[in-house]
Amino acid sequence: MASERGINDALERGRDSGEWCLDPQTDELVAALIAWHDDQLRGAPLGVFADALERLERIRDER
């Protein structure tokens, strides 16, 4: 996936140079992915969030 490659490249550059930034193409891809994810969350019923929260709390409590 192009966005994953771009992020990995940015992480490597950041470790090597101390400059932490995405190249323009990766920035656009990541922005599109985040917008798509936000759209999905906006359309999810509240019950889905409640169920996910309960699962996370159970996992947390098992530790």
Quote the pLDDT of residue 28: 97
Quote the pLDDT of residue 26: 97
Which parts of the chain sit beneath pLDDT 50? none
Rg over CA atoms, the chain: 17
Q: Which domain holds residue 10?
A: 2-62
Question: How many domains is the chain built from?
Answer: 1
Which residues lie below 8 Å from residue 40, measured CB to CB, with a gap of 6+? none
Quote the pLDDT of residue 9: 96
